[in-house]
């Protein structure tokens, strides 16, 4: 049986809690109990990010490869070490996207199946000036694919000179506004939200593995692109760039949305920034009366597993929303006010 701990912030001004606060506590405890009824991939992250139970975090994370979604994905690996007999396609069952999902589930970094699959991807990638691609017909490096391979190599502890060169290539192709765009080779002069979040997540994994200050600086500059756009707004008109950015999905694959963006800022330990306040308010506004968040968007294509259904409460979106809101509240309170530097 899992321990259920309330994560409601207690009043700090000496006032007693009223009945509304008590009701909120009941809702949050109910949500935690519901989250902890989910897959081990959900449970260990709930303990790490919400309850702070280190022992339960370790125990549930160890189950990812043996039970539930993680075990099912691992069972789909073919004798050659790939998934769906493809490196980048078909979507979303290829080796690349299956390994990205195993990463998000929390599979241990030294798992032999994941390491083997990642090595096959790197060996199968074509290199152009340091950048990488898994595409067979386009003879140029692809920024999103390069980012994905950097992420997987860092996450599953694969050391390869081609990955080191790929990180340098990402530094060379970082655009003036701070982000990246896979269409830069075709003349794009403004960064892409999709490409930029993919690269930033890769750099975060690389930094966690190497503690490379140059990688940290590159990522900090990359986050400035999102700060300048208030995460999902046009820097010219102030309008929402794409309404699909406001629909929270999981897994995100290569797609950007507000929740994915905020979860990166949280994972990077970034200070709260006033430019993100609107995005945080959007997340809070999507909370249901029962304290949960729906799966709002599903990126259609073939999948190995259907973890959740669209339009109904989502453990993934609820977990990620709660930890984003906790990050915002705790960092804002600790700082006394939100920062305007974005660093």
- Give me the pLDDT at residue 21, please: 67
Query: Is residue 129 in a domain?
Result: no
Query: Is residue 341 in a domain?
Result: yes
- Give me the pLDDT at residue 306, please: 96
- Give me the pLDDT at residue 340, please: 44
- Give me the pLDDT at residue 114, please: 98
Query: Is residue 262 in a domain?
Result: yes
Cβ partners under 8 Å of residue 260, min gap 6: 197, 248, 249, 252
- Give me the pLDDT at residue 6, please: 39
Query: Is residue 37 in a domain?
Result: no
38 vs 66, 169, 291, CA distance in Å?
Answer: 15, 40, 16
Query: Is residue 332 in a domain?
Result: yes
Find the mean pLDDT for residues 116-136. Answer: 97
For β-strands 131-133 and 126-128, DSSP reports them as: antiparallel
297: phi then psi, degrees, rounded to nearest 5:
-145, 135
CB 200 within 8 A of CB 153: no
What contacts 24+ positions apart, CB below 8 Å, involve 294-300? 294/248, 295/248, 295/249, 295/250, 296/247, 296/248, 296/249, 297/244, 297/247, 297/248, 297/249, 297/257, 298/249, 299/92, 299/249, 299/251, 299/252, 299/253, 299/255
Query: Is residue 139 in a domain?
Result: no
Give 193-233 as a DSSP string: HHHHHHHHHHHHHHHHHH--HHHHHHHHHHHHHHHHTTTTB
- How do residues 258-300 score in pLDDT, each as one tens digit? 999 999 999 999 999 999 999 999 999 999 999 999 999 999 9
Lowest mean pLDDT among 107-121, 157-171, 239-253, 327-341: 327-341
What does the mean pLDDT of the chain come to?
A: 92
- Give me the pLDDT at residue 24, please: 78
Q: Is the pLDDT of residue 139 over 60?
A: yes
Find the mean pLDDT for residues 306-313. Answer: 97
Could you tell me the residue range of the domain that residue 242 belongs to? 229-343
Q: How far apart are the first and last CA of the chain?
A: 41
Find the mean pLDDT for residues 98-123. Answer: 98
Q: Is the pLDDT of residue 73 over 80?
A: yes
- Give me the pLDDT at residue 338, please: 53
Instruction: State pTM to two decimals.
Output: 0.92
As beta bridge partners, residue 69 has none
- Give me the pLDDT at residue 331, please: 84
Give the C-alpha separation, 96 to 129, whole Å. 22
- Give me the pLDDT at residue 20, please: 56
Domain count, the chain: 1
- How do residues 185-213 score in pLDDT, each as one tens digit? 999 999 999 999 999 999 999 999 999 99
pLDDT band at 27 (very low <50, low <70, confident <90, very high): confident
Query: Is residue 313 in a domain?
Result: yes
- Give me the pLDDT at residue 17, please: 45
Query: Is residue 314 in a domain?
Result: yes
């Amino acid at each position: 049986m899992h321990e259920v701990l309330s994560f409601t912030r207690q009043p700090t001004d000496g006032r007693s809690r009223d009945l509304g606060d008590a009701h909120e506590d009941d809702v949050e405890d109910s949500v935690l109990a519901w989250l902890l009824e989910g897959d081990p991939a959900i449970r260990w992250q709930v303990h790490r990010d919400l309850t702070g139970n280190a022992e339960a975090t370790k125990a549930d994370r160890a189950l990812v490869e043996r039970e539930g979604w993680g075990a099912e994905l691992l069972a789909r690996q073919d004798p050659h070490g790939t998934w769906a007999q493809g490196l980048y396609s078909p979507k979303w069952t290829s080796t690349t996207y299956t390994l990205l999902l195993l990463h998000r589930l929390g599979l241990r970094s030294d798992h032999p199946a994941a390491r083997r699959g990642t090595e096959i991807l790197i060996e199968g990638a074509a290199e152009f000036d340091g950048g990488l691609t898994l595409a067979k017909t386009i003879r140029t490096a692809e920024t999103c694919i390069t980012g994905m391979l950097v992420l997987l190599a860092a996450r599953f502890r694969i050391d390869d000179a081609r990955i080191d060169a790929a990180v340098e290539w990402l530094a060379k192709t970082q655009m003036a506004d701070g982000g990246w765009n896979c269409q830069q080779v075709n003349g794009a002069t403004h960064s892409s939200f999709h490409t930029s979040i993919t690269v930033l997540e890769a750099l975060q994994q690389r930094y966690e593995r190497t503690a490379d200050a140059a990688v940290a600086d590159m990522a900090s500059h990359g986050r400035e692109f999102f700060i300048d756009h208030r995460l999902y707004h046009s820097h010219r008109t102030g309008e929402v760039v794409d309404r699909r950015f406001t629909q929270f999905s999981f897994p995100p694959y290569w797609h950007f949305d507000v929740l994915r963006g905020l979860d990166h800022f949280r994972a990077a330990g970034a200070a709260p920034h006033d430019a993100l306040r609107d995005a945080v308010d959007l997340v809070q506004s999507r909370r249901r009366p029962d304290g949960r968040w729906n799966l709002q968007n599903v990126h259609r294509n073939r999948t190995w597993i259907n973890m959740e259904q669209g339009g109904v409460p989502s453990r993934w979106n609820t977990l990620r929303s709660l930890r984003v809101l906790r990050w915002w509240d705790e960092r804002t309170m600790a700082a006394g006010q939100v920062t305007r530097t974005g660093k």
